[in-house]
Amino acid sequence: MALLPLLSLLPLLASAQTPLTVVKYSSTPNGFTTPPRGFNSFGLQVNTGAQPNFSFNQSSILTQARALVANSPASLLADGDYYISLDSGWSVGCNGDQYGRIIDDTSKFDISDLAPELHSMGLKLGVYVVPGSFHDDGDKTIEGTSIAIRDTWDGHDNGLCRMDFDDAKDGVQQWHDSVVGLFADWGVDLIKFDYVTPGSPSPGSATLQPNTSGSVIAFHKAIEKVGRPIRLDISWKLERNDSFFDIWEANADSMRLDQDLNAQGGNKLVEWAVVQRAIENYRQFISTVIDDNHLPLTIHPDMDNAFIGNPESVTGVSDAERTTIATHWIAAGANLLSGSDFTNLDDLGKKLLTLPEAWVDVANFTAQYPMQPRNPGTGKNSPQQLQVWIAGPDGSGDAAVVLANYGPDQGQGNFNTSLEGTQNVTATWADLGLSGSYQVRNVWESVDLGTLDSQISAQLGEGESQLLRFQRAS
């Protein structure tokens, strides 16, 4: 049989493109429609060389909070939901109050004082917890009950100074109610619940139970009872099969997709190899959401802290790579908590953390429509070094598009190619699942690219990307 002329193949190639399924977020279980923004302390806690003057105490946290406010336009703070999130180490290690509730380490923090001070700045407070109740508190009774805390345990010491719960026992929900009630009294606005399983590997000498999802449900029920808006962010690298994803999505507002990104113990905050890994984990997450039809999506991804505010000498990645981190975290509709030192922002850092077009126009759009991968040439969603993504389009046909060159795979990107130097990245409308004409704008460069009707191309160096707004023209 004679080969068909090339032109006659074009309709067949177009029809082979993967159809676009638009992904949309709905309200989260605790009633939020956008992901949180702000600061999380963990990167500066464990990378002491990146900010030698930072100590994990109330004074340093307030210094970061004031710097965040000073470097952020008032309109942006008013428009967003900004948090100062304390990570591990804010609480007493192995015992609670008279009811076994988690309490602050008063040598470092006074949470009942910190919360209102942050609120007076227009900020909110997040705190960190792990599964179980303190093993030193077994003889104490749960607030409002005659139930001894030891009578709620399953007998397993998880190595985090805590005993695990038997979710079937009376008192387990009451204990969670009492803890969340105390947090609400203090003025806590976000709970980061770490080491949730299945997913989290056991850290060091800890031995996590294989399934602590019952406490995610219990925390959600407790939040519903207090009458105060509190976010629940669960962590880390959680199992995403249907059985457990359904639990996460029904009870939590955001879920960690990956392990910690920060380079612990060093003078720099992050390495590009782990950023490649974080992007790959998001690709897997959003692809699973589409393939398993978890739509609309009621939980936001937590890709860990966005290290974008400080110069390369502190952050550890190039300016182009910092911009790519900001682009992907925003376009994913992910948590936008930064681990950067807000007292040491450079000009690019300020731009990446505050540019209104990115943080209002695009971020508000992607808080409704998260990006998904569309491979150049096929529209498929497999991992690639040269990748395009689309968020939307919405009912008006508007969208956000990302073009990216992640550089050679450094071992965790899962695309397994090593194209060096500048590369051409092209997305056709067929790749993106679009049709018609669009006015296109480069967001970070604040440059209009004109009206385009078939494709968009960019020459991108290693680790470089573009964040583009697409507004329907016809």
Q: Which residues are catalytic?
A: 194, 260
- The per-residue b/e assignment along 88-115, b for 16 or more CB within 10 angstroms, e otherwise, is bbbbbeeebeebbbbbbeeebbebeebb
Reported residue count of the chain is 474
Decide: helix, strand or coil at residue 155: strand
Q: How many CB atoms lie within 10 A of CB 221?
A: 14
What is the H or E stretch that residue 193 is in? strand 190-193
Side-chain-side CA neighbours of 228 within 13 Å: the count stands at 18
Whether residue 114 contacts residue 64, with contact meaning beta carbons closer than 8 Å, is answered with no
What CA–CA distance (Å, rounded) separates 18 from 374? 9
Name 246's Cβ contacts closer than 8 Å, sequence gap at least 6: none
What CA–CA distance (Å, rounded) separates 241 from 317? 33
Q: Is 140 exposed, middle or buried (0-12, 13-18, 19+ CB in 10 A)?
A: buried
The closest of 346, 442, 338 to 80, measured between CA atoms, is 338
What CA–CA distance (Å, rounded) separates 399 from 471? 7
Name 164's Cβ contacts closer than 8 Å, sequence gap at least 6: 131, 132, 153, 154, 156, 157, 158, 209, 212
Residue with tokens 């190619």: 417
Decide: helix, strand or coil at residue 369: coil
